[in-house]
Amino acid sequence: MTPEVRQDLEISNLLETIYKKYGYDFREYSAAHISRRIKNRLILSGISSVAEMERAVIQDKKFAYQVLQDFSITVTEMFRDPGFYLSLRKNIIPLLRTYPFIKVWHAGCSSGEEAYSMAIILHEEGLYERTTIYATDFNQQTLDKARDGIFSNDLMKEYTANYQLAGGKESFSNYYTAHYDHVIMNQHLKKNIVWANHNLVTDSVFAEVHLVLCRNVLIYFERNLQNKVQKLLFDSLINGGILCLGSKEGLRFTDFFEAYWELDKKHRIFKKKY
């Protein structure tokens, strides 16, 4: 057996063990992503092989939790890809305005920046009061951070620039209270956001929504899993509902390519056909 095949086998055993013991299913995550994260953890923890790592995962719950954190990449920003938010404001808000109430789902919301960005746009467009935002992630630690809405002050310069490029209508600093090294997002923005733990791989539809944002999540999944999650997103959307994906994600290799109209090719915005 070559060392590569042996390692592939060990990785698949590790993922199987994590699933059986802890219920988190990474078996169809991108092999390159999982392998990179495992290598990194091996170096950091001084463990010499994936098989040994598997034993540590079984015996040490804290270590297992660390590995789950490793597999969940939580990089995010306020108004990430400002052009996307500008398009959302111009092209999707008028559509949302036609509904008496609005439900939005941020699937894989990480530490919440995306949901706060949406709350700000909806507020500025006069729609926030009739909206419920479901912001979900399977990573409880990052979800707790999102609920607190506390972010580093150092990021505010970049976020302010993003907000302006995204068509922001006020001063971004109106939306938070600044403290010494951190800011706290306004209570008003949190009012209609429901934070919840939801796993896109193992949990099911929980609401019928008008708009889904699942951005920069599916990029870490193999094609078969992407397809499975796309079904979940499709089933969660009303007819005519809007799906937003990340800049490197699409529907082309899924069963749902024909099920949507492409509203904005560059910013990956799709409308579910009737």
> Minimum Å distance from CB 258 to ligand SAM?
25
Residues that bind ligand SAM in the complex, under the rule CB under 6 A: 72-76, 80, 108-110, 114, 137-139, 142, 199-201, 215-217, 246
Q: Between residues 110 and 254, which has the closer beta carbon with respect to ligand SAM?
A: 110
> Minimum Å distance from CB 133 to ligand SAM?
13
Whether 151 and 113 have beta carbons less than 8 Å apart is answered as yes
> Minimum Å distance from CB 263 to ligand SAM?
19
CA nearest neighbour of 210 among 181, 232, 169, 240? 240
Q: Between residues 130 and 147, which has the closer beta carbon with respect to ligand SAM?
A: 147
Query: d(Cα 214, Cα 230) in Å, to the nearest integer?
Result: 10
CA nearest neighbour of 224 among 27, 74, 34, 1? 27
Q: Distances in Å between the alpha carbon of 160 and those of 2, 117, 166, 167?
A: 51, 11, 10, 11
> Minimum Å distance from CB 215 to ligand SAM?
4
Q: Between residues 54 and 137, which has the closer beta carbon with respect to ligand SAM?
A: 137
Q: Distances in Å between the alpha carbon of 17 and those of 64, 133, 263?
A: 10, 35, 42
Sequence-separated (6 or more) residues with CB below 8 Å from residue 121: 85, 88, 89, 93, 166
Q: Between residues 80 and 267, which has the closer beta carbon with respect to ligand SAM?
A: 80
> Minimum Å distance from CB 1 to ligand SAM?
31
> Minimum Å distance from CB 196 to ligand SAM?
10
CA nearest neighbour of 131 among 184, 214, 189, 83? 189
Q: Between residues 47 and 165, which has the closer beta carbon with respect to ligand SAM?
A: 165
Q: Between residues 57 and 245, which has the closer beta carbon with respect to ligand SAM?
A: 245
